[in-house]
Amino acid sequence: MRLENVGRRYGLRGPWVLREVGLALPAGTLVRITGTNGTGKSTLLRLIAGIDAPTRGRITGRPARTTYVPERFPAALPFTAGGYLVHLGRIQGLGGAEAAARAGEWLERFGAAAFADTPLAELSKGSSQKVAVAQALMADPPLLVLDEAWTGLDTDARGELDRAVRDRVGAGGTVVFVDHDPRRLAGEADAVFTVAAGRVRPGSPERTTAREDVAPEDVARVRIVASGGPALPGGIPGSPAYEEGDALTVTATVDADHSDTLLRALLDAGWHIDHLSTEGVRV
């Protein structure tokens, strides 16, 4: 699969989120996409998965069976967990009996078999995410795209998704993923690309603590609204500014370069991320 001179913007006069992207994604490879929040990582993944179309350039060689897991699963759908998986399996080309068998297998692997008959709208965030990753894996897709797919999963389910990713690559599939945790599949990626300033470059980002060449007002800031956690962790790089909401809500603002660290600290401390925004950028 190839992306050739691909660009993407929203609206006829909107700013370019991505420009002149050229990528080759061979079969049997694990590809990690990195970069700070608000740089266009999710836009790139949606282009790769075929969810969005490029404004400019072309994408060739995408497998007919491609699956995608967003960070936020649209749980308010009129299905039970098992029924949804069977429905998606049949759309992906499986017969009814095979789709039902694989649905049960993947729910079992992710520790969610007890929720097979539960309506999606009644599932917790974590259980919903297990259904989301199960639907992407059950038909052995040649291309699997994961956008923060580990978010909300418990430790066992995260480990199971790690194993499933390795299995897909080992079977000749291509897996492209983003994850806030730098430890996720560390050292296993065949290629790493970084999104910055609308461009996609090979290699990991170069982090700097000093931004002497950039005026403070020009530094991208990320705003995170979180709820439900305990006392906030201290000593986070970037010195985030906190705005206290009600007893269970907090809003934190930090330079984009440090936003991944702040998100990981909040998630590790048990906070739920309700909203994330970067001024002037749509991702």
Q: Which pLDDT belongs to residue 236?
A: 61
**Helices 96-109 and 81-91, axial angle in degrees (round to 10):** 130
Distance of CA 5 to the CA centre of its chain: 23
**Whole-number pLDDT of residue 82:** 95
Which distant-in-sequence residues (6+ apart) come within 8 Å of 264 by Cβ? 180, 181
Can you list the residues of the chain whose pLDDT is less than 50? 206-219, 280-283
What DSSP character marks residue 212?
T
Residue-level pLDDT at 141? 94
Cα–Cα distance for residue pair 181/6, rounded to 1 Å: 27
Cα–Cα distance measured from residue 151 to residue 157, given in angstroms and rounded to the nearest whole number: 10
Q: Which residues pair with 272 in a beta bridge?
A: 227
Task: Say which residue the tokens 């993944």 belong to.
Answer: 45
Flag whether the pTM goes above 0.75.
Answer: no
Asked whether the beta carbons of 175 and 131 are under 8 A apart, the reply is no
Tokens of 227: 């709820």
Confidence (pLDDT) at 232: 62
Token readout for 2 is 């190839």
* In the block, residue with structure tokens 């090979």: 202
Strand order in the sheet with 16-24: 16-24, 2-9, 56-60
